[in-house]
Structure 1
């Protein structure tokens, strides 16, 4: 699974990481365009990165792929199922208090998860290697779960959160030597930024159309 695809500037890129990069780019690009197929490609990406993160002792991010796999399945259902008015899911905003609550949950859950991962690595040292950067790993894990969950409900805030995650992940993976994954997350950041403004424009258009319908 670690066969080298090619080497660039001294960095050997495995076929596994290359496949992860390509499916990741495809999934995020399609999500930005509001295409439900992004979740199907995301399922493949989750399996690939489960293996990659296991090989690099990033256990929180590894387990995150299991959650992502489930969220992708839900995303297909959520984006495809029409509501009572036979309308597909539309872009919407969170209420302010929910933004605060989600932020607190990410921090608290992230720190607790980091302690739990370290505890198990110490409890079973022969089976689980010491995790790399457990606090950062766990916080990115919880933020990513929140971002993906919000995306399945087409919340505009999902892209704002993903922009922060992608910027942090770019630096994080570069320090771990996963350079192509770091490049991937820098591209994710650009796609996420564009997606945020694209979704924001669509949301404002939806709001304007709804107001016109009320007036009529």
Structure 2
């Protein structure tokens, strides 16, 4: 049992206790945020804001620029999403779950490409191309940027981007030494699959004639 424990958590040897505690708190609120998102609950945003603020700090300490930018973006988009989700489209209804339009697909493609270019430029400026993870970060950052934008607009396709990004992030964060965060993304993947199914069911119900 000890070798298994060492394999997963030996990365934390020498890490300040407060950083481990902060990571656990960030993971806890991250779980809450994804669960609330699955349930189409507005609490996805306040819990997400707490989690992302914590991870921006932690990732800055670790010098993981790509991951830090992802969480900084999450933080700002959570504020935007909070506004969209509480906005009424008529006197009785809030913003509904919908499919992306053709225009929004083009916008998603633009966000993806623009994000990759931006992250590449940041890594180039700070000379962070010292590990293969930097190249993966460029892709995952773009994936998550699109996913967060679509989630803020309540587009069901956002779950597809979360699932892909989460799957990539599990081994990536473990390699980076953030085991608890890797476990978090593994659970995120499972929740995202159920989230897609739940939103799809809600979408079908919304499309039924009254």
How many residue pairs end up in the alignment? 196
1:155 offset after TM fit, Å?
A: 0.5
Residue in structure 2 matched with residue 120 of structure 1 by the alignment: 125
Give me the whole-angstrom Cα distance separating, in 2, the residues matched to 1:140 and 1:180: 19
Cα RMSD (Å):
2.1
Residue 110 of structure 1: how far off its partner (Å):
4.2
CA contact (8 A) 2:115 2:145 kept: no
Tell me the equivalent position of 1:33: 39
What residue number does 2:114 align with?
109
Counterpart of 1:195? 195
Task: Determine if contact 1:121/1:131 at 8 Å carries over to the other structure.
Answer: no
1:137 is matched with: 137
Is the partner of 1:91 in helix, strand or coil? coil
Point out the structure with max Rg over C-alpha. 1
| TM-score where L is the length of structure 1 | 0.82
Partner of 2:69: 63
The whole-number CA distance in structure 2 between the counterparts of 1:80 and 1:175 is 39
State the shift of 1:86 in Å: 3.1
Distance (Å, rounded) in 2 between the aligned partners of 1:118 and 1:146: 20
User: Which residue does the alignment assign to 2:29?
Assistant: 23
Residue in 2 aligned with 1:125? none
TM-score of the two chains, using structure 2 as the length reference: 0.84
Give a deviation string over 1:3-35, Cα, whole Å, max 9, x none.
Answer: xxxxx8131381011111111101111111111
Question: 1:131: how far off?
Answer: 6.1
What secondary structure is seen at the aligned counterpart in 1 of 2:54? helix
The CA distance in 2 between the partners of 1:68 and 1:110, in whole Å, is 13
- Matched with 2:179 is 179
Higher RCO (Cα < 8 Å, 6 or more apart): 2
> Are the structure 2 counterparts of residues 21 and 85 from structure 1 closer, same or farther at C-alpha, using a change threshold of 3 Å?
same
- In the TM superposition, structure 1's runs of 4+ consecutive aligned residues that sit over 6 Å from their partners are none
- 1:44 to 2:40 alignment: no
Judged with a 3 Å threshold, the aligned counterparts in structure 2 of structure 1 residues 99 and 171 are, in CA distance, closer, same or farther, namely: farther
1:99 is displaced (CA, Å) by 3.1
Aligned to 2:100: 94
- Kindly indicate whether the alpha-carbon contact (under 8 Å) linking 1:57 and 1:130 is maintained by their aligned counterparts in 2: no
Report the CA distance shift for 1:73/1:101 in structure 2 as closer, same or farther (over 3 A): closer
Structure 1 unaligned residues grouped into runs of 5+: 1-7, 123-128
Q: CA shift at 1:105, angstroms? A: 4.2
